[in-house]
Amino acid sequence: MVVLYHAGTGNVLSPGAHAGVLLLNIDMPRRWVSSSSFGWVGVELFFVISGIVIARSALGSMPSEFAKRRVLRLAPAAWICATVTVGILAATRQFPATQLAGEWLRSISFWPIGAQIDGVYWTLGIEASFYLVIGSILCFRRDRAAIEWGGIAMGLVSSLFWIAVLAGVGTRGMDGIRGLQLLLLPHGCLFALGIMLWSIAECGMTRRRFGLTILFLFAALIEIGAALNAAARCQPITAPDRRCSYSWPGFSGCSPSTGCKRHWPNI
C-alpha cells in the first residue's frame, strides 16, 4: 500500500526533495493518483501491527535480547536500501556529494533529525522511539501487565494530545513537530491500539480494555483525519522548491528540507 502510494500519488502531488528534482520536467500520469491515493494509511496500519508484534516479542525478554532482535530486524535492510539509494542519486550527478553523504550517514545510523537519503525514512525514528519505550519497561518488569500498562500510558498521553489538537487548546503556533513525533504524541495512540488488541487476544476482553481500545481508536481516527486534511491541500509540485501549505487545528506549513509529504512528516 505504502509503496504504491509513494510511486503514484506521492510522486505526482508531492515528491520528496530528491524526486522533486529528478521529476521536475516529467509529466506524471494523473491516473496514478486515484489508484494509490489511500496507500498512506498503510503507515498507520503498520504502527498498529507493530504494537501487536512488539508487545508479543517483548514479553519475558531481557532488554539486551529485545534490543538485539530489533537491530537485526531493522538495520540490514535499512543499510542496504540507503546504500542503493545513495548510489543511484550519486549517478544522476544532480546532488552535491557532501549532501548525499550526510543524508546517507543519518539514514544508516538511524539519526532521526535532519534530511534523510529518502523521505520515507521518517518512520524509522518513530519506530525506534517506540522500541525505546518498550525497552525501558523491560528494564524494570517483563510481564504482560507491565507491557499493557506501558501501552496504556502511551496511548492516554497521545489521545490527550489529539483531543487538545481537535479542540485547538494549547497547540497553536507550536514548532518542532519532529520532536513531537519522537515523543510519540501523534502516533502513540496507534502503537497503544495494537498493544490493547494484543492484550484482548491474549487475556480476553474487559470493560477497561474495551473502553481504552475505543479511546485509542478515536484518537487514531483524528490522526488520520489530520492526514487527510493535509493531503487534500497538497498540489502538484512543478519546481523543486514548490511547497504546499495545509493546516489542522494548530498546525501548518511544511519542512523546507524534504518537500511536502502527505501528513505528519512535514506538518
Whether the pLDDT of residue 35 is over 70: the answer is no
Q: Is the pLDDT of residue 231 over 80?
A: no
For residue 165, the model assigns a pLDDT of: 87
| pLDDT bracket for residue 227 (50, 70, 90) | confident
**Number of CB atoms found within 10 A of residue 109's CB:** 12
- Which DSSP symbol is given to 223? H
Percent of the chain with pLDDT over 70: 69
Tens digit of each residue's pLDDT (9 = 90 or more) over 160-200: 999 998 887 755 544 458 899 999 999 999 999 999 999 99
Residues 6+ apart with CB under 8 A from 237: 13, 14, 15, 20, 243, 244, 259, 260
Q: Dmax of the chain from CA atoms?
A: 60
**Alpha-carbon 47 to chain mean position:** 8
Which secondary structure element, helix H or strand E, spans residue 70, and what is its range? helix 63-92
Residue 131's Cβ-side half-sphere holds a number of Cα atoms within 13 Å equal to 19
H/E stretch holding 44 reads helix 41-58
The H or E element spanning position 11 is: helix 11-13
Q: What integer pLDDT is reported at residue 226 of this predicted model?
A: 84
- For residue 160, the tally of other CB atoms under 10 A from its CB is 14
Among the ranges given (94-98, 105-109, 168-172), the one the predictor scored with the smallest mean pLDDT: 168-172
Give the pLDDT band of residue 3 (cuts 50, 70, 90).
low
Kindly state the cell numbers that stand for 267.
506538518
Which residue spans within the chain are E strands per DSSP?
247-248, 251-252
d(CA 103, CA 97): 10
Q: How big is the CA angle at 48 (ends 45 and 54), to the nearest 5 degrees?
A: 130
Across the chain, mean pLDDT equals 80
Structural domain boundaries of the chain? 2-262
SS3 89: helix
Stated as kind and residue range, the H or E segment containing 252 is: strand 251-252
Neighbouring-strand partners of residue 248: 251
Helices (H) and strands (E) counted in the chain, each on its own, are 12, 2
Helix (H) or strand (E) holding 251: strand 251-252
Residue 262 has pLDDT above 90, yes or no: no
- Beta-carbon contacts of 257 under 8 Å, excluding residues fewer than 6 positions away, are 17, 114, 115
Amino acid letter for position 85: T
